[in-house]
Chains A and B, each alone.
Chain A
Amino acid sequence: MQRFPCPFCGPRDETEFHFAAESGKTRPEPAGEVGAERWAEYLHLKKNPKGPTREIWVHTTCGEFFLMERDTLTHHVAGSSALGAES
């Protein structure tokens, strides 16, 4: 079982977390100006990289979404930060 660092609560077992999204995805809008392919890409296409990745996760017990950098191959977790704080 992996251990993830919630930026607010500290390290916790992975069962307390849900994956939310790959980071860097922006919702295309307004709806009237978004083409079908662009919308389908937003809805369905994931990069799913092998190796280092930046993802949005939610710590279900505190309800906070945050950014996590981890490696999908080695399961090494490089770190996490509150959203909006990383820039």
Chain B
Amino acid sequence: MSSKRIAVSGAPRRELRFSFDGKALTGIEGDTIASALLANGVRIVGRSFKYHRPRGIFGAWSEEPNAVVDVALDGVHTPNVRATTHTLAEGMEVRSVNTGAGAERDRNALIDRFGQFLPAGFYYKTFLWPDWHMFEPRIRAMAGLGRLDPETEPPADCPLVSAHCDLLVVGAGPAGLAAARSGAASGQRVMLVDDQEKTGGSLLHRAARIDGEVGTDWAQAVAGDLARTGHTVLARTTAFGIYDHNLVALWQRRPDAPDALWHVRAKQVVLATGAIERPLVFPDNDRPGVMSAEAALVYLRRHGILVGERIVLATNNDKSHAVAVALREAGASVIVADTRSSAGAAAGPVVRSGAKVEAVHGAGGVEAVNVGGDRIEADCLLVSGGFTPTVHLLCQAGGKLRFDESIAAFVPGDPVAGIAIAGAANGQFALSEVLAEGHRAGGGGGKLPATDSEDESYGIEAAWPAPAGKARQWVDFQNDVTVKDIELAARENFRSVEHLKRYTTLGMATDQGKTSNMNGLAAMAAITGRTIAETGTTTYRPPFVPVPFTVVAGRRRGEFFNPVRRLVLENEHRAGGAVFREYGGWLRPAWYGSGSGADEVAREARQARETVGILDGSPLGKIEVIGPDAGTLVDYNSYQTISTLKPGRIRYGFMLTESGVIYDDGVVSKVSDEHYVVSCSSGHVPGVVARLEEWQQDRFDRARVFIHNSTPQWATLTATGPRSRDLVASLSLDVDLSDEALPHMSFSDGSFAGGPARVARVSFTGDRSYEVSVPSSRAKALSDAMQEAGRTLDAVALGSEALLMLRAEKGYIIAGKDTDGTTMPHDLGVTGPRDRRKGEFVGKRSLFTENAMREDRPQGVGLTVPDGAPPLPTGAHAVETANGKRRSIGFVTSSYESPSLGRPIALALVERGLSRMGEEIEFFHLGRTMRATIAPVCAFDPEGARING
């Protein structure tokens, strides 16, 4: 136990109780989980992914590779959070991941003993025989991350916020603050976002004075001014992805509200995302107690934590010498081991130059360090291999990088339109220059902030990883990738960085290689004798940090995932005992009653044939086509000619795609020469409106024809069955219902309850039917009136399932169910328009292609089964056997046990079906074979007498 809290600046802070792996601990307000663990001297916070090596906290923010934990708070379980970024809360239960019995005592720790036998690709190479999938579950169980709690489903309460601004600044360090301030001063609407709780970035732990103020005070003042003057300042908000046309996705963590997802469209984006310190790579550099030097400074300055008492600080640059000074002032003894031959002047008393770490001792944490042949007792080893600019967002937006030898880092190359990058993210580490870059990037408005402290020097000399015999040197801590793994990849010719990544999994862990990618590709460069620039980087993709799926999904879950359309009369149907299902996007009554579905459906179907059924047909399309050219457009849209109808008459027809395939079927009513109503099937309404619009705009005079979808404005209740006319007659609709005045396939306008009503004789059951349409506002009145009238007629409420059965008895198709993506009208025996119709219509030419005229096309037919046989399964394949090989020649599209006929019926698409009437063929389904005879599609009332019965 060497790390401890020594002092906290500012006002006293509230104590917070929490637990880690079941052990009760105490932190203070403002702690991250990581700082609280360090304050309690916790060293081992997790086990590595593959070897189960003990690991401690390395970083202080989102770069952290080791400290991944599961968190439970107030019954909400959140897996795989970074201890370094997650704010501590009272009562938090924190658990290490991928450990058998906690981080300290892990029952899989033994695996590390075999580490030398487990190089990259080991599992895939070894467990090939007999089948990788046999071994996979147990291997996966040994490696891994946190656990999801199946008991708690997180609420769908994360909102999506859309915003626009002139200038979006990502990062509220000195560069970002300067950019936001100058942007506001030049009249732009500014959004400033930062992923931390407090504004200031590096100013929060590196002392500086700007414009005469202490750096942190200056930062507070700038952010405060922005917020006060109407700009948007978001803390705890991570910009995790940048997409086309400057759309930036933000993940906002709100203290007393659910997280929010932001979509921000910015005219200009300034990336002031800083830089991340990378480790030096040497044998056993993954021991608990090895930490980023910059992180140690963060813990000291922001959380009052001294990470060790006897510290060795290994570095290759001047920046971390300031860390050594600060730690000494705080009471630690610090020995600086600098890889450079002449270490900088700022170094302080105990500095070794040209010094490399040769070994780290201590299985459970750093105990001693070998430097330049000497063994130095130490409880903490800080490392700084230099800083890698955080260019992720720029590269996601297509930005290219160039390698700058002078700072041993990839820096932004050619500018990207709409995006500026400033400060450490741009490879600039001198504060005065950082401020100047930020100021310019924001537009240059107002006064340039000046620093009155002297710029710290950087003075880095690259110290890249190199092979070192048998010793294991860690490059990627989280995924356990060592320099030897990279050597192996090179040896097996996985030399491209993209191959290196996939072969070794370098940079593929949840930290996405923030501390490891640079070292990894530098190692590959050294091993293959190329320059780092030649080796290049892997592709940067969103998200920058892991974002919870709950945030991405937001409220688009459950019933909001794909919201159903609802009937005006839903409540009435519910009161009537309806069981609802979704049909073509609409929530409709499937059947009524509490019996089994099959029984209720059979009851409804039987009774509707005997008396009268009442069905809610409101979703049926009612698309009005109006104007002098309405008839031409409706004809062009249809397979059948429509405009030759007399006003008041209705015609059934198909609509084809340009490929000649049946897109939908339906009826069209002719109101007048300049007014038609297209009544397509419920699920196809948006599609039919779209195609009418497309053709209208493409080849018609828009002043002469107009399309209006009035489907939602009308409610339609259908009465069908022998007593349907009696029922409609009692509604007093002011319509002559005699067959002479209102024959089948005609309509008449009347009135209902003081408003308009339309009565159409269209039948989807084969029985006499009346569709009564009234404005949706009068739907309930109409429903009540029909229920009332139905009482004396023994009427039955008819659900969709019974309707589907009744129409199948008649051989009426559902487009898309009884047809597929190849079915043309002549495949259903409807050839008139193809053979005789003059003029153009959609899909016409396709009906005459070689393929369309083949004789072996699947055709729509009915099927009968032998006496006593059960219904055929829908989807069963019709098969024929030739030369010992069985071949599918079609399939069953609809199949029911018909209560009216007392036998099964079915519809099918079968090759040459129309010329095979009476032929018995074989069907195959899930290993069973059965037989059925091809029959006409219409099984019930083939003469059609009931339509007027």
Interface residues of A (CB under 8 A from B): 1-3, 14, 20, 27-31, 34, 36, 39-40, 43, 58, 60, 63-65, 75, 77, 83
Query: Bound state CA distance, A78 and B28, in angstroms?
Result: 55
Name the B residues within 8 Å of A2 (CB-CB). Answer: 244-245
* CB contact list, B481-502 vs A, under 8 A: none
Decide if A1 touches B698 in the complex (CB within 8 Å).
no
Name the A residues within 8 Å of B698 (CB-CB). Answer: 65
Q: How far is the CB of A74 from chain B (nearest CB, A)?
A: 8
Decide if A75 touches B846 in the complex (CB within 8 Å).
no
B106: Cβ under 8 A from any A Cβ: no
B109: Cβ under 8 A from any A Cβ: no
Query: Bound state CA distance, A48 and B844, in angstroms?
Result: 26
B457: Cβ under 8 A from any A Cβ: no
Decide if A64 touches B697 in the complex (CB within 8 Å).
yes
Q: How far is the CB of A40 from chain B (nearest CB, A)?
A: 8
B710: Cβ under 8 A from any A Cβ: no
Name the B residues within 8 Å of A75 (CB-CB). Answer: 244-245
Query: Bound state CA distance, A33 and B839, in angstroms?
Result: 12
28 residue pairs from A and B, CB less than 8 Å apart: A1-B247, A1-B263, A2-B244, A2-B245, A3-B245, A3-B247, A14-B244, A27-B699, A29-B845, A30-B839, A30-B840, A31-B840, A31-B845, A31-B848, A34-B845, A36-B850, A39-B845, A39-B846, A39-B849, A40-B849, A43-B659, A43-B846, A58-B690, A60-B690, A65-B694, A65-B698, A75-B244, A77-B245
CB nearest to A82 among chain B residues? B697
Query: Bound state CA distance, A3 and B418, in angstroms?
Result: 14
Decide if B697 touches A31 in the complex (CB within 8 Å).
no
CB nearest to B660 among chain A residues? A43
Total A-B residue contacts, Cβ distance less than 8 Å: 49
Please name the 7 residue pairs, one residue from A and one from B, whose CB atoms are nearest each other, closest first.
Answer: A31-B845, A2-B244, A31-B844, A3-B245, A1-B247, A65-B697, A39-B845
Q: How far is the CB of B142 from chain A (nearest CB, A)?
A: 40
B265: Cβ under 8 A from any A Cβ: yes
CB nearest to B245 among chain A residues? A3
Q: How far is the CB of B224 from chain A (nearest CB, A)?
A: 33
Interface residues of B (CB under 8 A from A): 243-245, 247, 263, 265, 658-659, 689-690, 693-694, 697-699, 839-840, 844-846, 848-850
Name the B residues within 8 Å of A20 (CB-CB). Answer: 694
Q: For the A-B complex with A58-B693, A63-B693 known, give 20 more contacts whose Cβ atoms are closer than 8 Å.
A: A1-B244, A2-B244, A3-B244, A3-B247, A20-B694, A29-B845, A30-B840, A31-B844, A34-B845, A36-B849, A36-B850, A39-B849, A43-B658, A43-B659, A58-B690, A60-B690, A64-B697, A65-B697, A75-B245, A83-B697
Query: Bound state CA distance, A27 and B658, in angstroms?
Result: 10
- Known A64-B697, A75-B244; contact A3-B845, beta-carbon cutoff 8 A: no
Name the A residues within 8 Å of B697 (CB-CB). Answer: 64-65, 83
Name the A residues within 8 Å of B840 (CB-CB). Answer: 29-31
Decide if B846 touches A1 in the complex (CB within 8 Å).
no
Q: How far is the CB of B416 from chain A (nearest CB, A)?
A: 11
Query: Bound state CA distance, A75 and B242, in angstroms?
Result: 14
Name the A residues within 8 Å of B265 (CB-CB). Answer: 3
Name the A residues within 8 Å of B659 (CB-CB). Answer: 43
CB nearest to A4 among chain B residues? B245
Query: Bound state CA distance, A60 and B694, in angstroms?
Result: 11
Decide if A58 touches B846 in the complex (CB within 8 Å).
no
Name the B residues within 8 Å of A83 (CB-CB). Answer: 697
Q: How far is the CB of B440 from chain A (nearest CB, A)?
A: 25
Instruction: With a 10 A CB-CB cut-off, give which of B690, B697, B699 has the most chain A CB atoms.
Output: B697
Name the B residues within 8 Å of A14 (CB-CB). Answer: 244
Name the A residues within 8 Å of B845 (CB-CB). Answer: 28-29, 31, 34, 39
Query: Bound state CA distance, A60 and B689, in angstroms?
Result: 11
Decide if A1 touches B243 in the complex (CB within 8 Å).
yes
Name the A residues within 8 Å of B693 (CB-CB). Answer: 58, 63, 65
Name the B residues within 8 Å of A30 (CB-CB). Answer: 839-840
Name the B residues within 8 Å of A64 (CB-CB). Answer: 697
Decide if A1 touches B245 in the complex (CB within 8 Å).
yes
Query: Bound state CA distance, A28 and B850, in angstroms?
Result: 18
Query: Bound state CA distance, A39 and B659, in angstroms?
Result: 10
Name the A residues within 8 Å of B844 (CB-CB). Answer: 31
Name the A residues within 8 Å of B848 (CB-CB). Answer: 31
Q: How far is the CB of B432 from chain A (nearest CB, A)?
A: 36
Q: How far is the CB of A19 from chain B (nearest CB, A)?
A: 12
Q: How far is the CB of B658 from chain A (nearest CB, A)?
A: 6
Q: How far is the CB of B822 from chain A (nearest CB, A)?
A: 14
Name the B residues within 8 Å of A3 (CB-CB). Answer: 244-245, 247, 265
CB nearest to B659 among chain A residues? A43
Query: Bound state CA distance, A31 and B265, in angstroms?
Result: 48
Name the B residues within 8 Å of A77 (CB-CB). Answer: 245
Name the B residues within 8 Å of A31 (CB-CB). Answer: 840, 844-845, 848
Name the B residues within 8 Å of A40 (CB-CB). Answer: 849
Query: Bound state CA distance, A39 and B846, in angstroms?
Result: 8
Q: How far is the CB of B922 from chain A (nearest CB, A)?
A: 36
Query: Bound state CA distance, A29 and B699, in angstroms?
Result: 13
Query: Bound state CA distance, A9 and B343, in angstroms?
Result: 63
Name the A residues within 8 Å of B699 (CB-CB). Answer: 27
Q: How far is the CB of B701 from chain A (nearest CB, A)?
A: 11
Query: Bound state CA distance, A22 and B716, in angstroms?
Result: 40
Q: How far is the CB of B663 from chain A (nearest CB, A)?
A: 14
